[in-house]
């Protein structure tokens, strides 16, 4: 067997192998991983020495104590470092030598997520009850998303960063379906290719019995039942003299507007990578060539910021009744998609009524409502003192008084001042915002 790269050696493909008592299959599976690719075996509570055997065969071994197929898969995704990540059952039912069939279309840029459509090589490879359940779920998925998939097969490949941006939250049997469902909602190009399906070694932990299949179907139906969120960004068009006026001086109005445009573009791109039913830009002004595809532009209501926020949530509730709505500003270009996507995932929403993102200056950078309505938005926001050091605390007090269970998001820094801008650029050095800030020939006191 070709030795696997050590964890310290870069490789462009990591293979995640969720493992529960698969010692009998491991030598064959690991022996057929393509040369130069790293195998990450995620031990999910094995008692047959699987972890020790995998380690002795050269694989990287990760321990995930939380039982569940999704828990093991996600632990492997977090442990991976390669640009491309594959997933594969560790039971010998799929041939790792065929992994390039799902990886190559992603590597070539023809697709963002590729699944292996299983073709049984023997009648015993795929029990009738499991095949029927798979066909029903695939049909529901096609109708829900329009993605022409016929199989929710466990062999699949995608770019790691695209998967992390989905915020996958299910840790049980719904994980494979959630990946496809949220991937479609995030605009991923999803495809499938035929792969051989072999009789597995040992007994299946998920679909090998009718009871296990029913449990998997129940998990997946729960994921299907959750509507994708409506995402809103409230912003001013980046016109010199109208935006980021606190940056001037020392910035010129044109530099301040350029920074605002970069921050807005970064924010829109970040939220575009997240799963969403609709994406609304609530804009004061006219859109420009900075507006990416996939965003609906809604004009801001007349009145103060509190009135405009109320109107934005009311509009989201009318467009997508029953879907959660989350609103962010244009001042946090360091925001990462996974920061919002996982708390909003179907599995993480249970028992949550609102999402609150505090800003370092005492304001807030995000507010989400699980069941948005104009009445609730007015109760929470109308008359709220804005742009003060106590704005965030006042909003949190109203959320609590309304009896809402609040999920707290991380504290982020808004870009209000030049020192803020430098702090944010340091947190997101690869962003448009950071690049734009670096391009300015600023006076020494600006860079301090």
- The per-residue pLDDT for 11 is 81
Residues 202 and 342 placed together within one structural domain of the fold: no
Annotate 296-341 with DSSP letters as a single string: EEEEPPSS-HHHHHHHHHHHHHHHSTTS-EEEE-SS-TT--HHHHH
Per the CB < 8 A criterion, the answer to whether 19 and 41 are in contact is yes
Q: Which of 192, 225, 258 finishes a domain?
A: 225
DSSP letters, 139-198, are HHHHHHH----S---S-EEEEHHHHHTTT----STTHHHHHHHHHHHTT--EEEEEEEE-
221/234 same-domain check: no
- Model confidence pLDDT, tens digit, residues 151-202: 988 999 999 999 999 999 989 888 998 999 999 999 999 999 999 999 877 5
* Lookup result for tokens 């605390």: 393
pLDDT at 217 over 80: no
Angle at 139 (CA atoms; ends 133, 140), nearest 5 degrees? 90
- The tens digit of pLDDT for each residue in 396-410 reads 999 999 999 999 999
Query: Is the confidence at residue 382, as pLDDT, over 90?
Result: yes
Confidence of residue 224 (pLDDT cuts 50, 70, 90): confident
Q: Is residue 272 part of a domain?
A: yes
- What is the DSSP track for 217-256? HHHHHHHHHSPPPEEEEEEE---TTTS-GGGTTTS-HHHH
Asked whether residue 228 carries a pLDDT value surpassing 50, the answer given is: yes
Measured CA to CA, the distance from residue 220 to residue 91 in angstroms comes to 22
- Say which range, 164-178, 213-227, 280-294, 412-426, has the weakest mean pLDDT: 213-227
Nearest to 274 by CA among 407, 147, 167: 167
The encoded tokens of residue 342 equal 């996982």
Evaluate if residue 22 carries a pLDDT over 90. Answer: yes
Among residues 185, 200, 225, the one where a domain terminates is 225
Average pLDDT over residues 228-241: 96
Residues 435, 262: contact at Cβ < 8 Å? Answer: yes
- Specify if 27 maps to a domain: yes
- Residue 159 shares a structural domain with residue 241: no
Q: What tokens were used for 262?
A: 């970069």
Q: Is residue 87 part of a domain?
A: yes
For the four alpha carbons of 427, 433, 435 and 437, in that order, the dihedral sign comes to: negative
Coil/strand/helix, residue 85: strand
Check whether residue 114 and residue 251 sit in a common domain. Answer: no
Domain end point (choices 188, 203, 225)? 225
Residue 158 and residue 241 in one domain: no
Same-domain pairing of 168 and 251: no
Domain harbouring 298, CATH code = 3.90.550.10
Any domain includes 41: yes
- Identify whether residues 218 and 234 lie together within a single domain: no
Report yes or no on 262 lying in a domain: yes
Q: What is the pLDDT of residue 137?
A: 83
pLDDT band for position 447 (cuts 50, 70, 90): very low
Distance CA 279, CA 91 (A): 41
User: Does the pLDDT of residue 210 top 60, yes or no?
Assistant: no
Do 167 and 30 fall within a single domain? yes
Using the predicted structure, report yes or no on whether residue 446 has a pLDDT greater than 50.
no
For residues 286 and 419, state if they share a domain: yes
Percent of the chain with pLDDT over 90: 79
pLDDT average, residue stretch 299-328: 96
Instruction: Check whether residue 162 and residue 254 sit in a common domain.
Output: no
pLDDT above 70 for 214: no
pLDDT, residue 123, reads 74
| Residue 206 pLDDT greater than 60, yes or no | no
pLDDT at residue 381, rounded to an integer: 98
Quick one: tokens of 404? 């809402």
Q: How confident is the model at residue 219 (pLDDT cuts 50, 70, 90)?
A: low
The C-alpha atoms of residue 53 and residue 76 are separated, in whole angstroms, by 18
pLDDT at 429 > cutoff 80: yes
* pLDDT higher than 70, residue 82: yes
> What are the tens digits of pLDDT across the range 26-81?
999 999 999 999 999 999 999 999 999 999 999 999 999 999 999 999 999 999 99
Structural domain for 407, as ranges: 230-439
Q: Looking at residue 134, what is its pLDDT?
A: 84
As a whole number of angstroms, the distance between CA 367 and CA 386 comes to 14
Would residue 252 count as lying in a domain?
yes
Does residue 4 sit within a domain?
Answer: no
φ/ψ region of 107 (left if φ > 0, alpha if ψ in -120 to 50, else beta) reads alpha
- Looking up tokens 């009648």 gives 123
| Choice among 69-73, 206-210, 287-291, 359-363 with the minimum mean pLDDT | 206-210
Residue 112 pLDDT exceeds 90:
yes
Furthest-apart CA atoms within the chain: distance in Å:
74
Domains contained in the chain, number = 2
Same domain? 417 vs 283: yes
Does 266 lie in the same domain as 209? Answer: no
* Angle at which helices 432-439 and 253-272 cross, to 10°: 160
Domain-embedded: residue 86: yes
The C-alpha atoms of residue 345 and residue 333 are separated, in whole angstroms, by 22
């Amino acid at each position: 067997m070709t030795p696997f790269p050590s964890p310290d050696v870069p490789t462009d493909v990591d293979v995640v192998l969720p493992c529960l008592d698969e010692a009998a299959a491991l030598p064959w599976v690991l022996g057929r991983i393509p040369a130069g690719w790293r195998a990450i075996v995620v031990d999910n509570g094995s008692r047959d020495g699987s972890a020790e055997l995998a380690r002795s065969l050269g694989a990287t071994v990760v321990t995930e104590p939380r039982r569940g197929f999704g828990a093991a898969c996600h632990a492997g995704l977090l442990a991976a470092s390669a640009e491309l990540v594959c997933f594969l059952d560790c039971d010998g039912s799929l041939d790792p030598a065929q992994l390039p069939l799902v990886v190559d279309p992603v590597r070539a840029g023809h697709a963002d997520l590729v699944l292996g459509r299983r073709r049984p090589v023997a009648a015993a490879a795929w029990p009738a009850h499991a095949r029927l359940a798979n066909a029903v779920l695939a049909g529901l998925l096609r109708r829900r998303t329009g993605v022409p998939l016929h199989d929710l097969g466990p062999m699949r490949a995608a770019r790691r960063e695209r998967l992390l941006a989905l915020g996958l939250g299910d840790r049980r049997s719904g994980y494979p379906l959630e990946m496809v469902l949220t991937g479609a909602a995030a605009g991923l190009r999803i495809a499938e290719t035929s792969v051989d399906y072999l009789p597995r070694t040992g007994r299946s932990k998920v679909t090998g019995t009718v009871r296990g299949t029913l449990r998997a179907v129940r998990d997946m139906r729960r994921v299907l039942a959750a509507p994708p969120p409506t995402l809103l960004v409230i912003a001013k068009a980046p016109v010199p003299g109208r935006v980021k006026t606190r940056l001037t001086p020392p910035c010129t109005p044109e530099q301040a507007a350029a920074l605002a445009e970069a921050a807005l573009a970064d924010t829109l791109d970040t939220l575009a990578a997240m799963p969403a039913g609709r994406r609304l830009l609530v804009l004061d002004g006219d859109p420009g060539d900075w507006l990416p595809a996939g965003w609906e532009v809604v004009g801001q209501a007349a009145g103060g910021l509190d009135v405009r926020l109320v109107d934005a949530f009311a509009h989201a509730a009318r467009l997508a009744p029953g879907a959660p709505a989350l609103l962010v500003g244009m001042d946090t270009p360091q925001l990462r998609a996974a920061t919002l996507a996982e708390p909003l995932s179907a599995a993480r929403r249970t028992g949550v009524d609102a999402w609150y993102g505090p800003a370092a200056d005492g304001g807030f950078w995000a507010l989400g409502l699980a069941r948005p309505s104009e009445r609730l938005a007015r109760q929470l926001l109308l008359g709220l003192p804005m742009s003060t050091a106590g704005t965030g605390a006042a909003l949190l007090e109203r959320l609590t008084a309304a009896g809402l269970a609040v999920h707290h998001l991380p504290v982020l820094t808004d870009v209000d001042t030049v020192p803020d801008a430098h702090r944010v650029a340091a947190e997101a050095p690869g962003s448009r915002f950071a690049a734009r800030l670096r391009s300015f020939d600023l006076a020494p006191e600006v860079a301090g």
